Chain A
Amino acid sequence: MKITVTVNGQEYDRDVEPRLLLVHFLRDELGLTGTHWGCDTSNCGVCTVCLDGTPVKSCTVLAVMADGKSVRTVEGLEQDGELDPVQKGFVECHGLQCGFCTPGMLMTSRWLLDNNPDPSDHEVREAISGQLCRCTGYENIVRAVRWAAEHPGTSTSTSTSEEEVTA
């Protein structure tokens, strides 16, 4: 079945089987391996991408369901060579260890901050309650998101200032 999906602003035409999952479409058809694939049962959230602006678990969405729609993946967070504040927050606060959960954490955090620019620690924890960190580094993940909330417009050049909130 022929589908057209806009991913990170770029339009892709592909001919896919209806049973192809969105996560495999992104990774295998488009080579966008930033989106990870883990539990396959919509539990862990590593496959989270934004579909028409709303984060969904792409292991539980069919690629054909994204036909005519737009998808944003972790590759689309960076703008013009500049990392998104949530990405910088994860760098600043050591928000990742092995990095497996990070793409999902980043997409969910970006969505949280878009809707709630100044979340409490508790609100961050609630927002990421559908994301499992196998390394259990939640403390620093929450700090990283808080860092991003406090630095909404940070540029690369200032991200190494003394304001770091490292662990």
Chain B
Amino acid sequence: MQVPSHFEYERATGVEEVLALLAKYGPEARVVAGGHSLLPMMKLRLATPDALIDINDVSELSYIRVEGDELLIGALVRHAELLASPVVAEHFPIFRDAERVIADPIVRNRGTIGGSLCQADPSEDLSAAFAAVRATVVIRNADGSRTLPVREFHTGPYETEVGDGELLTEVRVPIRPGGSSAYEKVDRRAGDWPLAAAGAALWLDGGTVADVGIGLTAVGAKHFVAAEAEEYLRGRPADEDSFAEAGRIAAEHCDPVADQRGPADYKRHLAGELTTRVLRRAAERART
């Protein structure tokens, strides 16, 4: 039986209370929501926080809404809610694609958007999806709040810009006309981590790629982004040749490592192929 080590437990009902509790318990306190990454790590004693601050009742962080030309997603939104949201599906099919293949339905009932981003697992899907659509994140602290692009949020594996005494509260996705998006992953079985996955958001100007975002998961892409492929594609014709070349560039510039899920060259191949596929699908969706 795997048992976490001792910790203090506090349940917060508001963001201010969370910040006060983080200040009270100091840097060895951890925020818990779904807990589907943190609790397993605590069972294995890979994480031994002094205190857990439960934010499951902080309902003010549980919303999905459009404000102006942005989609706002509260940090406590569950994967299942993102998957089921009609407004998300309307503007960003990439999230519906991704959420269908994140973990399994029961885990998706519990896991949260904010938790996924903050866990910053290199194999986690939403980081790449949010990178593709160029989201920004809102971080609250005692002095107020700050925002930063999600492409600058992850500072390394399992590391983010969220500092001591801070809380990720919201993800904002700019809504721009003329585009669409898609996500695809290859995994060995339901609920497993991906061998590789790719997401793309594409904006068209007639037959030309006006702008593009490409996210890569589990293949060692810096900040989950295929920057060189994006650069290549901008201003090119939105056709098969361009998408194939973008895939080739994405594969060339990522840095997958071999593990029990597969060898590096296979993952590199997948990164390229999946990039091409999601670009193709995003373009199809943008045209309809």
Residues of A near B6 (CB, < 8 A) are 17-19
Is A167 engaged at the interface, CB distance under 8 Å to the other chain?
Answer: no
Residues 96-112 of chain B, each 1 if its beta carbon lies under 8 Å from chain A, else 0: 00000001111101100
Is B266 engaged at the interface, CB distance under 8 Å to the other chain?
Answer: no
What interface size band does chain B fall in? 20 to 34
Q: How far is the CB of B97 from chain A (nearest CB, A)?
A: 14
Please measure, in the bound complex, the distance between the C-alpha atom of A43 and the C-alpha atom of B43, giving whole angstroms.
Answer: 14
Interface locus among A4-12, A122-130, A158-166: A122-130
Is B234 engaged at the interface, CB distance under 8 Å to the other chain?
Answer: no
Which of the residues B8, B9, B39 comes within 8 Å of A60, measured between beta carbons? B39
Please measure, in the bound complex, the distance between the C-alpha atom of A54 and the C-alpha atom of B84, giving whole angstroms.
Answer: 14
Count of inter-chain pairs, beta carbons less than 8 A: 76
Residues of A near B40 (CB, < 8 A) are 41-42, 60
With contact pairs A129-B191, A130-B191 given, residues A19 and B4 touching in the complex (Cβ less than 8 Å): yes
Given A19-B4, A19-B6, A67-B11: 12 more A-B contacts, CB < 8 Å: A18-B8, A19-B5, A21-B39, A40-B2, A55-B106, A55-B109, A60-B35, A60-B39, A61-B39, A64-B9, A108-B106, A130-B104
CB within 8 Å of B: which residues of A?
1, 17-19, 21, 24, 40-43, 45, 48, 54-57, 60-62, 64-65, 67, 108, 126-127, 129-131
CB within 8 Å of A: which residues of B?
1-9, 11, 35-36, 39-40, 42-43, 52, 54, 56, 103-107, 109-110, 190-191
